[in-house]
Amino acid sequence: IYVLGHSLGGTAAPRIARQAPSLAGIILMAGSPRPLEDLMVEQFTYLFSLNGGPSAEQTAQLEAIKTQVARIKDPNLDLQTPPADLMGANAAYWLDLRSYNPAQVAASLPQRMLVLQGQRDYQVLAAADFTAWQSALAGKTNATFKLYPALNHLFISGEGPSTPQEYEKAGKVSSEVIQDIASWNKTR
């Protein structure tokens, strides 16, 4: 049995594998080893940079997001902090994520791992996240990595900078990704 996780599911996959040592392996599709709140700031910064840069309203929104991220990162984060002040999630959620280091857990796993990333992904960055997985798992013979230059966060092909509007178009996960997963599974 393998666990395939996409996005936040890819981030959680090492945690699942640690709790289920009988798993044969994990497949991380666009998972990040970095803190979710940091990704959220990067995502909004990117989105607000589209179409000529952030407007005054978007700049104010980004500052409000950064304020909430600072509350999330506060070492004295209180369980009573309202979710509205924490990007809509309860403090317990953020405190739990704070205690989880996906890369460190993945590096300790005996199971096989396949790490897949679309280079056009603006939600999980190839330059930061894919590279961080490679660094964390360097030297592990049970880890395989594949970067897809034309694919976005949904592993759908496109051109140019990825945008949210791209997600609204019907599409399918690239057949190359499906073939790579199947081939990797056969080589166990």
71-115 residue pLDDT tens: 999 999 999 999 999 999 999 999 999 999 999 999 999 999 999
Catalytic residue among 6, 32, 153, 174: 153
pTM of the entire predicted model: 0.94
Catalytic residue among 121, 129, 157, 174: 121
Dihedral Cα 172, 12, 104, 178, nearest 10 deg: -20
Reported as type and span, the H/E element at residue 108 is: helix 102-108
Residue type, 179: Q
7 catalytically annotated: yes
Q: What is the mean pLDDT of the chain?
A: 96
**In this predicted structure, what is the pLDDT of residue 134?**
97
38 catalytically annotated: no
| Confidence bin at 117 (pLDDT 50/70/90) | very high
Q: What is the pLDDT of residues 42-81, one digit of tens each?
A: 999 999 999 888 999 999 999 999 999 999 999 999 999 9
Q: What is the pLDDT of residues 146-182, one digit of tens each?
A: 999 999 999 999 999 999 999 999 999 999 999 999 9
162 catalytically annotated: no
Q: Token digits for 115?
A: 């790490």
| Confidence bin at 188 (pLDDT 50/70/90) | confident
Catalytic residue among 7, 32, 157, 174: 7
| Confidence bin at 23 (pLDDT 50/70/90) | very high
Strand 2-6 relative to strand 25-29, pairing: parallel
